[in-house]
Amino acid sequence: MTTQTPRTLGTTGPQVSALGLGCMGMSGAYGESDRAESIATVHAALEAGVTLLDTGDFYGMGHNELLIAEALRTAPAALRENALTSVKFGALRGPDDSWNGFDGRPAAVKNFAAYSLQRLGVDHIDVYRPARLDPDVPIEETVGAIAELVEKGYVRHIGLSEVGADTIRRAAATAPIADLQIEYALISRGPEREILPTLRELGIGVTAYGVLSRGLLSGHVAAGQGFAANDFRAHSPRFQGDNLQHNLTLVEALRKIAEQKDVSVAQIAIAWVVSRGEDIVPLIGARTRERLDEALGALDVTLDAADLAAIEAAVPADAAAGERYAPAQMAMLDSER
């Protein structure tokens, strides 16, 4: 039986399940998804003890928040009351799916929050965070605006996303920060250099997204696999040509270790992130109940020192080919500066 031993987001954040559910993929980020199955997956996650639902107001231009609202509305009351919402805001989109920067102005923060509260059908957001740093607005102003929402009861906790150590320190000096959301996986270990030590010094937790590297570490991606134009992976450097071929060799090396433990590649990749510290809550991006069940099974995987050494040898830090985002999006990441 999979156990959901709770974890706490930093010293000031809420207690949440050991794994959170990242809902972005339910709104077209990886090609078409099935609405009924998405809602059933949210329900199954809640039934399995997952309490943290992660979304962004720009996922499908509001589609994801509306989907979560429907899932919560149709879930049993006891499960609905246990659910916590984590919302990213600030990304500016166009009708053609274009990305047009980020807006962290205080007036915009409150505007985005008002729309999210309405779409989600809730009276408060549990963790509210700017999706990226707005280079034209000091982080103190953005965080200060969220702090005002906390004071008025519209938000419970303040989070950050994809920002570097200096920005984290400035934000934490402005108001209590519960967690940083950042990509962290076997082949995305940049946060270990400076960001994780800073977070631990300040008592800030981590919600780790991309723990399966957009499915690359799921064990379900094949060489030469094509992706729809509206699938993130069609434009991701790690899924292109020789990069993909190289990265799949890492997956196969990981598969050998997984097979020795009689678990899946995905489960061992998630278990590795779980093992990195009790201050880290991995977000699993399951879009179906089948994938959810597989991911939850990672909580039953115990990795001893020999296992961790074997994983490190199979997939060393910085072993992946290709950046985690295309160049234009990498340039937007304060965490990469």
Ranges of beta strands (E only) in the chain are: 7-8, 15-16, 20-22, 52-56, 84-89, 91-93, 99-102, 125-130, 155-161, 179-183, 205-209, 280-284
Q: Rounded to whole angstroms, how far apart are CA atoms 308 and 168?
A: 29
Give the closest residue to 161 by CA, choosing from 113, 208, 211, 213: 208
Compute the 3-state secondary structure of the chain and give helix, strand, coil in percent, each to the nearest 5: 45, 20, 40
Give the closest residue to 209 by CA, choosing from 190, 189, 251, 181: 181
Q: How many CB atoms lie within 10 A of CB 31?
A: 15
Catalytic residue among 30, 59, 184, 209: 59
Q: Rounded to whole angstroms, how far apart are CA atoms 263 and 241?
A: 28
Q: CA angle 203-206-211, nearest 5°?
A: 160
Q: Rounded to whole angstroms, how far apart are CA atoms 104 and 5?
A: 35
HSE-up (13 A, CA, CB side) for residue 331: 5
Q: Is 86 left (phi over 0), alpha (psi -120 to 50) or beta?
A: beta
Q: Dihedral sign for Cα 278, 323, 161, 201, please.
A: positive
3-state secondary structure at position 129: strand
Task: Tell me, yes or no, if 59 is annotated catalytic.
Answer: yes
3-state secondary structure at position 32: coil
Query: Within the chain, what is the greatest distance between any pair of CA atoms?
Result: 54
Q: Catalytic positions, please?
A: 59
